[in-house]
Amino acid sequence: MCSIFGIFGLQPGDDIQALRRQSLDCSQRQRHRGPDWSGVYLGEGAILVHERLAIVDPAGGSQPLLSADKQLALAVNGEIYNHTQLKGELTRDYAFQTESDCEVINALYLEDEPASFLNRLNGIFAFALWDAAKGRALIARDPLGVCPLYWGHDKEGRLRVASEMKSLVDECADVAQFPPGHWYDTATGELTKYYERPWRDYDAVDGVNVSLQELREAFEAAVHRQLMTDVPYGVLLSGGLDSSLVAAVAARYARHRIEDGDKTEAWWPRLHSFAIGLKGSPDLAAAEIAAAALGTVHHGFEYTFEEGLDALPEVIRHVETYDVTTIRASTPMFLLARRIKAMGVKMVLSGEGSDEIFGGYLYFHKAPNAREFHEELIRKLDALHNYDCLRANKSMMAWGVEPRVPFLDREFLDVAMRIDAKWKMVDKTRSDAQRMEKGILRQAFDGQLPESILWRQKEQFSDGVGYGWIDGLKAHAEAQVSDRELAAADKRFPFNPPQTKEAYFYRSVFERFYPTPAAAETVPGGKSIACSSPAAIAWDASFATMADPSGRAVAGVHEQAVAAI
């Protein structure tokens, strides 16, 4: 994973060399994402800059990737997990210039329409492809927005794109997020949605069941695909269900090299796992249990509240949000990424996405029926790019560590999301797996984790690192923000006015780095909690009055759930 920056629509009268220098300066602001090498393409109508984090083909594969005739220039942030299969399916010759997994995008572009070939890619990506012969740029983002991408126009009207907002905000008054699952064609000026799945409609999944074996095998295949790497890697292991399942499956495949079909021993055959928390945190204790059972080389790191507080401004600058939940969880993840980077690891697998697929958040206990449960899953998946995907990607990539998310693998999603939500719902009257959130997932992997991990109650990451973290942040914000300031929050911040002193504090820090109205508008709602969901409020009216995003605060569900187990 890397960073991209591009300017399109250059005109004959433009000072091309000045724009090239400016492009390098803008791209440098996101070089933390790609510290290994920088590449520049300068054409008659476009400039592309790529900052590379070398994961596959580190000796070659530098970008932008050029076709043999130099007519195509491609800058990609991401990984294409099925690139070998796609190469084998090509119907016309293409002279590959590198071993990069991403170069297959150039070949597919030459033989197929974007709406078709984009739906064949299984990976995480944001890319800009320049076709010099046609004077056309194609810009696209992966289905769920795992990889960040922003766009806007400079004062001359030229289109600019970048992996992070910080590279655009000074030049583009209209900077915005590029929508996931879409592609844009500069030749037509059309933004087109390419990712549409039947399972988005509950009627398409009503009555559908998937065997536990099929669900398990689909997830195992997803993890196996995403172990594609030529550099040292590891797993994030909080000791919760999701990260522990990722680690368990990865440990099974770690000894063999995925790149040659598991025929040879892996270059780094010992799987390393990583956790972080305050001293005595629930996650650190649970991660030790999981790691011991799985046989990983485990690294549990402690941080102090003061270390987390000191990092907050830098965290907000990197993650480019003022959302309370995201900042709370991003800070320990940011600190963990720094530790991981120091150990020479460049890629990690993580457990994001499971809660959105299986209804793992505690307020899902209140869902009245399968249809509403499923519709809320779709809403959560659609919002992931603003919250958990943004947090995982930007807080880890701040230190040049690539996070991969097997639960959001395209093929696994097609299996897990076609299950009727009635099999995912919590039913406290039952004594089987459905008495608890994500019961079907726990049941599918029965016997593969210690019971205390397999049936561990849901904790938000910011809770699991230690309850003192959230409580301390609230106390600090209370001391920093006066009652009068909070009362006038809507005057200072007309868009998404903060509702708590903690939210006000984060918004003030965000404004120091990103003071423009457009930057503020890239954060929808400024609140990612259950209370912000119209469906959740309909399920339980008490959600409407809650301003605290902590899992502990969800109308007593946390305590009720724990007591019921």
- As beta bridge partners, residue 274 has 236, 299
Contacts of 348 (CB under 8 A, 6+ apart): 233, 234, 235, 236, 274, 340, 396, 401, 402, 403, 404
Looking at 2, 26, 172, 389, which residue is catalytic?
2
Q: Residue 302: enclosing H or E segment and its boundaries?
A: strand 297-302
For 230, left (φ over 0), alpha (ψ -120 to 50), or beta?
alpha
Cα-Cα end-to-end distance for the chain: 40
2 catalytic? Reply is yes
Neighbours of 525 (CB within 10 A): 11
Residue 406, CA distances (Å) to 18, 241, 247, 324, 475 in order: 42, 14, 11, 25, 36
State yes or no: 189 annotated in a binding site: no
Query: Any idea which residue has 């423009």 for tokens?
Result: 516
State yes or no: 139 annotated in a binding site: no
Contact 243, 356 (CB under 8 A): no
* Cα angle 460, 500, 282; round to 5: 20
Contact 401, 346 (CB under 8 A): yes
Contact 565, 436 (CB under 8 A): yes
State yes or no: 351 annotated in a binding site: yes
What's 457's DSSP letter? P
State yes or no: 101 annotated in a binding site: yes
Active site residues: 2
Which residues participate in the annotated binding site for ATP? 236, 276, 350-351
Which residues participate in the annotated binding site? 101, 236, 276, 350-351
Which residues participate in the annotated binding site for L-glutamine? 101
